[in-house]
Structure 1
């Protein structure tokens, strides 16, 4: 069976779906779902992504994600591997969590109503699957693990920064204010009652296309994608040939330069005090797509496994090397703010 086309370019928007291995659950409790959403947020920070919509089901998830830097594959690899490690760690499990490759359908987002139909499709998933059975007002918005409830129904201060609610509402001619957010939720609830969760879309092909197609858009959009496929830069390279994108390396270098200035490092960073190297490793891991192997080599932290251990200790607030480092708290604030 041929593998799905994977097209990447700056500004591309995708409908991403990933399912558990052999149909198994990928979320066992609400804490798992919280862990996954935190991991999505980290992936967005690392890759500059914006998420227009999401829904978490028992054995799969849907994301509508925009990649301003054309880096879906790199980000998805990190997202799924990181969540797998965290889930296995929570439940003393091992092995793969996800089944076949995630599906990623590129979506026309510049007009035609395709993105709007896709957001509806994702938000209505709990109705189509039978998880939300009631057609009463508020039933769908009461499903907590969807961006409808956790994003579009609440004020900006109550939702994650990576969720592009304001931009999503604008696609429907609405503003990010209480009255318009209420209208959006009511509109989606009405769709659930009227259609049972089914979405036709601009060309009446949403259901089959979003399940089996490779793009979601107009014929003109399809032609644009086919032209991109003829350019080597638009094709996904074989895994063995993949390398860090130049812009990702520049971003990593910018963080290294900031760390040098903040901690007063001169010369080879690998010979800097341990606290500075650990702090820089944490920033690179949190804010860039650089591999742990590259971070280890650059900062003299021996191995990728050691980098993972150091970063985990920082996240847990238990790293001894940072306990007496006066500049750590200001660095932590700078990194979390994204500089």
Structure 2
């Protein structure tokens, strides 16, 4: 089954989330939470990871994780595998604890865009958003299994927890005044969520965090596309899936079309004026299908070919052409010049 690509590079930052198999709990009590944090501590020691925010919920966890070295995949394999072994040993279980592949969304580290503190807030406010405790009786700082209380209590922090980036992006320092400002900032966000009938929609950016394949600016997206392109060299694109790969494939297909138009002596603006079954359009559709795995819907829209169901027939006609205009166009597009 096609899989989503992992974008790994030194200095990358990810929003990592993993959920229990079938939605089952991955922490049955406080001792399990302590075991996970001990395992995370070991993982950070092995990999050099820096954690900027975390929260452990009943059946899932979130991390805002930085990899000084390009070792996300190796580190996550060790972290999740080791915790699963320890959980199963304690509870006398066997088999998978976590559901499928973990989610790892690259996060733009550009301080000007506000992406970093937005993800940290999303993580720290998770207990409020999912209503796992009574806001009338407890405060967010009372939720033990989060990095938020540790932001306010520096003496309790593990070495791998880094708070400077999040606080700095909000204009606060890691001193008494800065921590008090952050406490008030978070309390304000708690009240906003508590007064909202749809807590998940309290911040418009949260939907992008939940659904997107990256979180950042357009420049960051373009940077990631280049990294994905480098990572796919020598591999079959059809072995991967997901929105990132779809964008990558469509970008590659568009390059082929632009190059093909140049070879055929056709101006980009002339495509729309041609009939949907024009030989040049059929030849370009053949080229794209031969070199990429983009969908027929994209090709038909890009080339103004009418219904997507037309594309297979066009491709077949060009492939079988053994003389005439279609064969000539095919040979032109096959040339390396």
Tell me: CA distance 1:65–1:108, structure 2 relative to 1, closer, same or farther (3 Å): same
Partner of 1:246: none
Partner of 1:217: 216
Partner of 2:110: 110
Q: Please give the residue correspondences for 1:34-73 in structure 2 after superposition, counting only pairs within 5 Å.
A: 34-73=34-73
Corresponding pairs, count = 232
8 Å CA contact 2:129–2:193 kept in 1: the answer is: no
Partner of 1:192: 190
Partner of 2:99: 99
Question: How far, CA to CA, are the matches of 2:160 and 2:235 in structure 1?
Answer: 25
8 Å CA contact 1:52–1:163 kept in 2: the answer is: yes
8 Å CA contact 1:15–1:104 kept in 2: the answer is: yes
Partner of 2:158: 160
Tell me: CA distance 1:235–1:40, structure 2 relative to 1, closer, same or farther (3 Å): farther
Tell me: CA distance 1:230–1:64, structure 2 relative to 1, closer, same or farther (3 Å): same
> What is the CA deviation profile of residues 14-52 of structure 1, one whole-angstrom value per residue up to 9, with x for unaligned ones?
000000000000001101000100111111111110000
For structure 2, the 5+ residue unaligned runs are 238-337
Tell me: CA distance 1:198–1:185, structure 2 relative to 1, closer, same or farther (3 Å): farther
Q: Please give the residue correspondences for 1:72-91 in structure 2 after superposition, counting only pairs within 5 Å.
A: 72-91=72-91
> What is the CA deviation profile of residues 296-334 of structure 1, one whole-angstrom value per residue up to 9, with x for unaligned ones?
xxxxxxxxxxxxxxxxxxxxxxxxxxxxxxxxxxxxxxx
Q: Please give the residue correspondences for 1:258-337 in structure 2 after superposition, counting only pairs within 5 Å.
A: none
8 Å CA contact 1:135–1:193 kept in 2: the answer is: no
Tell me: CA distance 1:199–1:116, structure 2 relative to 1, closer, same or farther (3 Å): farther
TM-score, normalization by structure 2 = 0.64
Tell me: CA distance 1:219–1:95, structure 2 relative to 1, closer, same or farther (3 Å): same
Deviation, 1:2, is 5.0
- RMSD (CA atoms): 2.3
Partner of 1:128: 129
Tell me: CA distance 1:63–1:35, structure 2 relative to 1, closer, same or farther (3 Å): same
Question: How far, CA to CA, are the matches of 1:84 and 1:234 in structure 2?
Answer: 33
8 Å CA contact 1:47–1:75 kept in 2: the answer is: yes
**Residues 221-230 or 55-64, more deviating:** 221-230
Partner of 2:332: none
- Structure number with larger C-alpha Rg: 2
